[in-house]
Amino acid sequence: MAIAAKFPICLLALLTFASLVDSVFSTSVPTISASPAVLPYVNAPNMSSFFPAPKTMPLNPAVSPSLQAVSPIPSSGEFVGRSWSSAVKLQSGTAISDLWLHVLIVFLSALAAIGSKPFKNTTHSSNPNLATLFNKYVDKTNVFSWNSVIAELARSGDSVEALRAFSSMRKLSLTPNRSTFPCAVKSCSALFDLHSGRQAHQQALIFGYESDLFVSSALIDMYSKCGHLDDARQLFDEIPQRNVVSWTSMITGYVQNGEALEALLLFKGFLIEETENEDVYIDSVAMVSVLSACSRVSRKGVTRGVHGFVIKRGFEGDTGVGNTLMDAYAKCSEIGVSRKVFDGITGKDVISWNSVISVCSQNGMSAEALELFHDMVRDGAVAYNAVTLSSVLLACAHSGALQVGKSIHNQVIKMGLEDDVYMGTSVIDMYCKCGRVRAARRAFGRMKEKNVKTWTAMVAGYGMHGHAREALEVFYDMNQAGVKPNYITFVSVLAACSHAGLLDEGWSWFQAMEHKFNIEPGVEHYGCMVDLLGRAGLLNKAYDLIKDMKVRPDFVIWGSLLAACRMHKNVELGEICARKLFELDPSNCGYYVLLSNIYADAGRWEDVERMRIYMKSHGLVKPPGFSLVELKGGVHVFLVGDTEHPQHEKIYAYLEMLSVKLQEAGYMPNMTSVLHDVDEEEKGMTLRVHSEKLAVAFGVMNSAPGTTIQVIKNLRICGDCHTMIKLMAKIVDREIVVRDSKRFHHFKDGLCSCGDYW
Ligand SMILES: [Zn+2]
Ligand SMILES: [Zn+2]
């Protein structure tokens, strides 16, 4: 279908080309002034309606009159004797006009666009007209003609045809020259075709072009891309006079094969040769290669050192260098410096913007990512693309910025990107994480193509909202559709079972994963199972599972069991878990607090006191909890006991007023959630100002009655906040959605979707 549609356009391009050739040869100097019209004419989508074109049919009226003058389209018979090589000869003659370049490019890209037809069977094309035209216009005895054809095919990405043309040329016993090899070798690289690459290398050797700098650099690149670094290095070492291209090819080769340290060692050699040989100098392209090695090594010191060199040589403002430098800093977690590098790039391109936005999105700096996106739109110098929108959607997902997410989704639809499977998956993920699982499902339903990530995003989405049945249904449909689940899919399936307490389903999928799908369970899968068993009260079974693990249990697994021990008041096992956790993650204060709470529940106050003293003497501080709430497109952040927010006084007053109603509804603050180091009255205060309470109150105060309040918390919601928000939802008659570090809680009418099971 696609080829059929292309044919008439290409054929017309050939004919137009032929007409121009005709005019050019009829007068000694090309005089057609309408040359720019040729390109839009060829690309016009409505050209297919011209096929089959009657001989007398006028050309597109939109085309300028001087071009129309060449119609009616001449029959192929008129071109006899006018060969394309004459055109090439004209090119290599005295003056070559832009028109000629245009014409050549149009002709060659028309050939390339036809697909493989004319070259595949040079003399047996299924379309006799095309074969005739091709045979007429390419002078097969001229090596320059072949070079141009090979180069153009390679450049347009049709490497298979470029290699076929190369081999056809060799079959005609034509002697290749130094321009023939680089393009032929590059086509081998593009296809990762080592066999053809070696053949091309041999021929270069036979014709004496092996040490030609362009040929050898292309060969180094080919061997590296095919994973044969030793051959590449041998060739590199044998080059008598290396230049910047040879050095860059070799450094890039090391980077591509994951040998970034070798690449950096070679860079040292490059610097030495630069001081000794004045023909060798480091340029910005070489710098990009070196910096991508820094990205892979991700060591602060190394990146800083190379950055110093970049400044010294004045490459700082270069867009390519800046983009790679940003990435190198981001990879060694120097987000601030990465941002500064971005600010310093003078000609920011779409890659610069995409990198900075994605660095922020991926490092939890959602507000910055969204702000940068606004800057990009306001700046207007660079148009955003699918990659940008994906990063912005990720930032929306992390910060729960539903309104911004929705507007990005609209933009995705407007730009016709909704069918893109990666984009669609980002949209689903955004809606799920912003609490709109139904909107996610609608977007999911509209997607024509779904890959394993798409299905997994939907399974995970249902799971985090506690809709385990729906998650398992989607998982079932995924299997029916013949999409093979992967490691992450099973994490999502087991997490869904764990969120809903589906013990039997969880077990059976955990077994099936290994035995039916050949996926070895990893820590994440064990984590879900321990959580599932632990919360169901099967503490010993969970402990046995940990002991049987083929991989080393991590702090998440012991943490789940410790939390289960608190829930089911098992001091003995709790102590075992805590001991493991203190070894694995000694600076995390959360475990000390959990163990302390287990002791408190058991009334072991001496142990509670012991924990308190230990924590104090080791300077362990609880990580600050914070909550986010989106309001009119802006994201508001609240810390525990926040006094920074402009409305904080109003919020506290509102909560004070509400507490009376809450107590009437039977609310009793749950004191055991707090470390027993404050007196009762103060404890009441501390609980009240948990960040999620502030965020919920702020949301209720500032939004229209009936609207849903959505809050995101960085830690797990505590029992007291959970109880209070349930009652609050009833008193203020609102739906309140809280996403904590584990899952979603939908509070409505005094109940929560998790069924108090989280
Ligand atoms: Zn709380
Ligand atoms: Zn809940």
Ligand nearest to the CA of 757: 2
Compute, in angstroms, the gap from residue 137 CA to the centroid of ligand 1.
Answer: 79
Q: What is the pLDDT of residue 322?
A: 94
Do the beta carbons of residue 18 and residue 74 sit within 8 Å? yes
Q: Which of 23-32, 96-105, 693-702 has the largest mean confidence? A: 693-702
Do the beta carbons of residue 379 and residue 371 sit within 8 Å? no
Alpha helices by DSSP H, listed for 447-486, are: 452-464, 468-480
Query: What average pLDDT score do residues 709-738 get?
Result: 90
Compute, in angstroms, the gap from residue 257 CA to the centroid of ligand 1.
Answer: 49
- State the residue for tokens 């403002």: 317
Per the omega criterion (within 30 degrees of 0), is the bond before 52 cis?
yes
Do the beta carbons of residue 421 and residue 451 sit within 8 Å? yes
Rounded CA-CA distance 710/729 in Å is 12
Query: What average pLDDT score do residues 604-627 get?
Result: 85
Q: Above 50 in pLDDT, residue 400? A: yes
pLDDT digits (tens, 9 = 90+) for 670-722: 655 544 443 444 444 555 578 899 999 999 999 999 888 989 998 888 888 89
Helices (H) and strands (E) in the chain — how many of each? 39, 6
CA nearest neighbour of 119 among 111, 129, 128, 109: 111
135 pLDDT band, cuts 50/70/90, is low
Evaluate the CA torsion angle 347, 348, 350, 352 in order and state its sign. Answer: positive
Q: What is the pLDDT of residue 159?
A: 86
Identity of residue 598? I
Q: What is the pLDDT of residue 138?
A: 64
Do the beta carbons of residue 433 and residue 398 sit within 8 Å? yes
Q: Which of 87-96, 178-187, 404-413 has the largest mean confidence? A: 404-413
Compute, in angstroms, the gap from residue 497 CA to the centroid of ligand 2.
Answer: 16
Ligand nearest to the CA of 466: 2
Do the beta carbons of residue 527 and residue 542 sit within 8 Å? no
Compute, in angstroms, the gap from residue 722 CA to the centroid of ligand 1.
Answer: 7
Ligand nearest to the CA of 464: 2
pLDDT digits (tens, 9 = 90+) for 473-497: 999 999 999 999 999 999 999 999 9
Of residues 93 and 179, more confidence is placed in 179
Q: Above 70 in pLDDT, residue 257? A: yes
What distance lies between CA 68 and its chain's CA centroid? 48
Relative to beta strand 634-639, strand 626-631 is antiparallel
Length of the chain: 758
Compute, in angstroms, the gap from residue 318 CA to the centroid of ligand 2.
Answer: 52
- State the residue for tokens 């050095």: 247
Q: Above 70 in pLDDT, residue 134? A: no
Q: Above 90 in pLDDT, residue 545? A: yes
Ligand nearest to the CA of 716: 1
DSSP assignment, residue 78?
G
pLDDT digits (tens, 9 = 90+) for 284-311: 999 999 999 999 988 889 999 999 999 9
Compute, in angstroms, the gap from residue 673 CA to the centroid of ligand 1.
Answer: 8
Compute, in angstroms, the gap from residue 716 CA to the centroid of ligand 1.
Answer: 8
The mean predicted confidence, pLDDT, of the chain is 79
Q: Measure the N-to-C terminal CA separation of the chain; round to a whole number of Å.
A: 54
Compute, in angstroms, the gap from residue 755 CA to the centroid of ligand 2.
Answer: 6
Mean pLDDT check: name the lowest of 116-120, 230-234, 524-528, 650-654.
Answer: 116-120
- State the residue for tokens 């080769």: 253
Compute, in angstroms, the gap from residue 133 CA to the centroid of ligand 2.
Answer: 73
Compute, in angstroms, the gap from residue 61 CA to the centroid of ligand 2.
Answer: 68
pLDDT digits (tens, 9 = 90+) for 402-460: 889 999 999 999 999 988 999 999 999 999 999 899 999 999 999 999 999 999 999 99
Per the omega criterion (within 30 degrees of 0), is the bond before 72 cis?
yes
Compute, in angstroms, the gap from residue 679 CA to the centroid of ligand 2.
Answer: 28
Query: What average pLDDT score do residues 510-515 get?
Result: 94
Rounded CA-CA distance 680/686 in Å is 10
pLDDT digits (tens, 9 = 90+) for 323-357: 999 999 999 889 999 999 999 998 899 999 999 99
Bridge partners of 634, per DSSP, are 631
Q: Above 50 in pLDDT, residue 9? A: no
Q: Above 50 in pLDDT, residue 37? A: no
Q: What is the pLDDT of residue 149?
A: 81
The angle subtended at Cα 368 by Cα 325 and Cα 436, nearest 5°, is 125
Ligand nearest to the CA of 690: 1
Compute, in angstroms, the gap from residue 710 CA to the centroid of ligand 1.
Answer: 16
Q: Above 80 in pLDDT, residue 643? A: yes
Ramachandran region, residue 749 (left: φ > 0; alpha: ψ -120 to 50; beta: rest):
left
136 pLDDT band, cuts 50/70/90, is low
- State the residue for tokens 């600076």: 587
Compute, in angstroms, the gap from residue 603 CA to the centroid of ligand 1.
Answer: 22
Compute, in angstroms, the gap from residue 468 CA to the centroid of ligand 2.
Answer: 15
Compute, in angstroms, the gap from residue 688 CA to the centroid of ligand 1.
Answer: 8
- State the residue for tokens 């989704």: 409
Compute, in angstroms, the gap from residue 371 CA to the centroid of ligand 2.
Answer: 32
The angle subtended at Cα 106 by Cα 102 and Cα 107, nearest 5°, is 120
Compute, in angstroms, the gap from residue 720 CA to the centroid of ligand 1.
Answer: 6
The angle subtended at Cα 576 by Cα 573 and Cα 579, nearest 5°, is 150
